[in-house]
Amino acid sequence: MSPTRVIFLGPKGTYSHQAALQQFSDEGSTVEYIPTQSIPQCFNDLENNKDISYSVVPLENSTNGQVVYSFDLLRDKMLQKDTSRIGKRVVPDLEVVGEQYVSISHCLLSSSTSISSINDLSTYKNIKIYSHPQVWGQVSNYLNKLKSICGTIQLLDADSTSNAVILAKAEQDNLDPTNKDTIYLSIAGETAAFLNHVNIIERSINDIVGNTTRFLVLKRTNHKIEPKETGNSNGSVNVSLLTFTIEQDEPGSLVDVLNILKEHSVNMSSIHSRPYNSTTSPRKWQYVFFIEYTFNHDKTDIDLFYKQFDEKCLQWCLWDDGPESITSPYSSKRDLHSTQSNSHPVVLQKPLIIPILLCLIISFGGFIFGWDVGTIGGIINMKSFKNHFGTIYNTESMEIDFPDILTGLIISIFNIGGALGGIFLAKLGDYIGRKLGITLATTIYMLGIFIQIINDQVWYQFMIGRVICGLGVGCNAVLVPMFISESAPINIRGAMVVLFQVLVTFGILVGNITNFFCVTYFNDSNYSWGIPTTLGLLWAAILLVGLIFVPESAEYLAIQKMNEDSARLSFAKMNGISVYHHKTDDFLNNMQDKLFLSTQERINRKKWHEFISGSPKLGLRVLIGVLLMAFQQLSGKNNDQIDFMFSSIKNELVDPLKPDRYGNEYY
């Protein structure tokens, strides 16, 4: 399936980019976001490139008003001569299908590490600030404050806030190091700062709190040009965008058009106007009007509505389904994303059932570990297994058997492989991702299972298979808890992390039960040990299939890959919230701080012995941890070791051929 391609005013990190993410967050990884260099290009690419599905363009700002580029392009689309028409109605090949509101929070940014506050700027004589022209009117009070501290500043226009950051950073990097009088700054959002790795000098410098920009979502479409009556017993209300021109030499011509709306119980929510451009206007200062309105299907006679517009307008155009459809996509998005009291869309939090199931799938890596612990002790004591792989003849039991040292080696070699996998392979999680790392580790485990089950009476091949299985399980023992701790919903993260150990224990239980049934029904057959060994492939396959539906760790995407788009989508999906919910923003802010700290740590590299000599008391902490794990093994009370050897211990204790071994011969 080809991805949904969405274009927006770029580069990445702009407010247009945020609007696109809000609109298409539910589509997940099937959306490809493509930045453009200008608003006209957003229109042209959507119209002429069939690979482009949608375009997101700014329409107006709550502080600065309308974005004239967008209004003028809508105007020109209506007025172009080759547009389809029905009478005076223009039928454009672009359609408005959604709208988004994005909270605008500007920051003063600098790529210079020597600037931590605006007071540090007082030493510079030439301060040059890049930003989008629309921004200057939104931060005018702050600029006046800046001038009072720094004196003269020069404002430089960029075609987007993200490009402003890029330009300022490039200028600063190319500045002569001996030049201590000049500095280049930029004004943009936190997202642009994060993506371009520049410092935030001051946040929220807007003149007006709650500054918001409204964006339209456009798609290319073929309108159904035949009007049709619609009715709705519930009186559903839709939102439409309509443009029209009138004969302006006649007094009251605009009022006549607006009265049509009143007659049909249509509520006009906004009206704007733009002059004709010089190439299309028959006379100077003729205007195109833009109105947005809501209508009630019960009270709107669609045929009469269209007829009256034809009578009163020179030409007119609907930019969405309007009254032709009961469920306009444009209206549904507006209803879902109300901005009455919040700068973010108001979206109900989704149930956490799906995230919990996804965590359960990831935790199946623990079940695989427990399965081996629960089955191998029983398998190695099965009569058919000894007959197949045994190396000696036991004169006491009169059966083919293994030397005790070989029994212990076959069982414990899995742990050696696990230790190697945990130490060396788990690092793959930092290079290729947690998800792909678990996939690779599980594939290695499956390879080990195959080596065991295709064996032809060679004990060391079975043991090699167990080493390889151990490599995969050891790697998963590190990556799975890490993946869950980074991906689980923050409200229940602790409970989700525990799932790994719960699944380990459950795997031990199911493994022992399976051994019991296999010995009961296939005692003398190779099926008795072949079935529990082969079932490991099934559990691994369940994990691999489940991983298809699990997004990559948001923390890995944000810090290791520095991919904010994917990190937003992953975090939102695993927490059942909107991609621009405040919790998502908080998470990304935390990741930005962690990224900064990790960058500083790379710059200030610690010595190799820092884990011993570092403070506070790192050496003592490491020693306590090492001794705790060592004594757990040396005491003989490690649960996994008892589970591994339980069947062998039980057989020794209850062997009917050795009645005096633990009886009155010794006591």
Q: In a 3-state reduction of DSSP, which class is residue 219?
A: strand
Give the three-class secondary structure for 483.
helix
Confidence at residue 341, expressed as pLDDT on a 0 to 100 scale = 32
Has residue 482 got a pLDDT over 60? yes
The alpha carbon torsion through 375, 378, 383, 388 (nearest 10 deg) reads 40
Across the range 46-59, mean pLDDT stands at 87
- The token pair that represents 1 in the structure block: 């399936």
Closest by Cα among 117, 142, 164 to 10: 164
E strand or H helix at 267: strand 267-275
State which amino acid sits at residue 565. D
**What pLDDT, on a 0 to 100 scale, did the predictor assign at position 230?**
31
pLDDT of amino acid 667:
42
Q: What is the pLDDT at residue 446?
A: 96
Residues contacting 621, CB < 8 A, separation 6+: none
Please say if the pLDDT value at position 659 is more than 60. no
**Tokens 């507006």 correspond to what residue?**
334
Residues sharing a CB contact under 8 Å with residue 18, sequence separation 6 or more, in sequence order: 102, 189, 191, 580
Six-digit token string for 130: 């890049």
What's the confidence (pLDDT) of residue 543?
94
Mean pLDDT of 563-591: 81
**229: confidence class by pLDDT, cuts 50, 70, 90:** very low
Provide the residue type at 168 as one letter.
A
Does residue 385 have a pLDDT over 50?
yes
Residue 635 to residues 232, 542, 583, 627, 628, Cα–Cα distance (Å): 76, 36, 46, 12, 11
Mean pLDDT of the chain: 78
Question: Given this structure, which CATH class describes domain 222-322?
Answer: alpha beta
The pLDDT of residue 227: 33
Give the pLDDT band (50/70/90) at residue 10. confident
We find that the CATH architecture of domain 355-550 is: Up-down Bundle (1.20)
Q: What is the pLDDT of residue 443?
A: 96
Q: Per-residue confidence at 345, pLDDT binned at 50, 70, 90? A: very low
Residue 112 predicted with pLDDT over 60:
yes
What separation in angstroms does the CA of 628 have from each of 230, 612, 631, 632? Answer: 74, 17, 5, 6
Cα distance between residue 415 and residue 424, in whole Å = 14
CA-closest candidate to residue 448, choices 429, 425, 427: 425
pLDDT band at 81 (very low <50, low <70, confident <90, very high): low
Which tokens belong to 609? 């012995």
Cα separation, 469 vs 376, in Å, equals 12
**How many Å apart are CA 5 and CA 667, to the nearest integer?**
82
Residue 6 pairs in a beta bridge with 33, 54
Choose among 410, 388, 413, 412: nearest CA to 399: 388
Chain segment 393-446, per-residue pLDDT in tens: 877 767 888 888 888 888 889 989 999 998 888 888 889 999 999 999 999 999
Tell me the pLDDT tens digit for each residue of 199-220.
888 888 888 777 788 888 888 7
Q: How far is CA 201 from the centre of its chain?
A: 28
* Lowest-pLDDT choice from 48-57, 320-329, 494-503, 597-606: 320-329
Q: What is the mean pLDDT of residues 453-458?
A: 79
- Number of helical H runs and strand E runs in the chain: 25, 19
pLDDT at 529 over 80: yes
Q: Which residues, 6 or more positions from 579, have their beta carbon under 8 angstroms from its beta carbon?
A: 21, 22, 25, 568, 569, 572
Domain 107-209 belongs in CATH node 3.50.50.60: no
Region 347-351: what's the mean pLDDT?
A: 47
The 8-class DSSP code of residue 394 comes to E
- Average pLDDT rounded to a whole number, residues 349-355: 71
Q: Report whether 514 contacts 532 (CB < 8 A).
A: yes
Instruction: Region of 87 please: left (phi>0), alpha (psi -120 to 50) or beta.
Output: left
CATH H-level, domain 4-102: superfamily: Periplasmic binding protein-like II (3.40.190.10)
Q: How far apart are CA 536 and CA 503, in angstroms?
A: 14
Q: Report, as an integer, the average pLDDT of 75-97.
A: 72
Residue 163 or 456, more confident: 163
Return the structure tokens found at 175.
């500045």
The pLDDT of residue 508 is 93
For residue 280, pLDDT beyond 90: no
Residue 257: pLDDT over 80 = yes
**Same CATH fold assignment for domains 107-209 and 355-550:** no
Confidence of residue 325 (pLDDT cuts 50, 70, 90): very low
Predicted pLDDT of residue 272: 78
Taking the whole predicted model, whether its pTM rises above 0.75 is answered as: no
What tokens appear for 620 in the block?
A: 């003592």
* pLDDT score for 334: 32
pLDDT > 90 in the chain, percent = 18
Question: Any idea where the domains of the chain sit in the sequence?
Answer: 4-102, 107-209, 222-322, 355-550
82-87: average pLDDT? 67
Query: 3-state SS of 141-192?
Result: HHHHHHHHHHCCEEEEECCCHHHHHHHHHHHHHHCCCCCCCEEEEEEECHHH
The confidence score (pLDDT) of residue 228 equals 32
CA distances from 552 to 9, 473, 476, 571, 596 (A): 27, 20, 15, 9, 21
3-state secondary structure 329-344: HHHHHHHHCCCCCCCC
pLDDT of residue 420: 92
Other Cβ atoms closer than 10 A to 548: 9
Query: What's the token pair of residue 342?
Result: 């919040």
Helices assigned H by DSSP within 490-581 = 493-521, 527-547, 554-555, 564-575
Helix 582-603 to helix 564-575 angle (10° resolution) is 130
Only one residue has tokens 């330009």, namely: 167
Which pLDDT score, from 0 to 100, does residue 367 have?
95
Q: Which residue would you say has higher pLDDT here, 635 or 194?
A: 194
Count other Cβ atoms within 10 Å, centred on residue 406: 18
pLDDT at residue 350 is higher than 70: no
Query: Per-residue pLDDT for 380 more than 50?
Result: yes
- Strongest mean pLDDT among 267-276, 357-366, 563-572: 357-366
pLDDT at 467: 94
pLDDT of residue 86: 66
pLDDT at 545: 94
Residue 218 region by backbone torsions, left for phi larger than 0, else alpha for psi between -120 and 50, else beta: beta
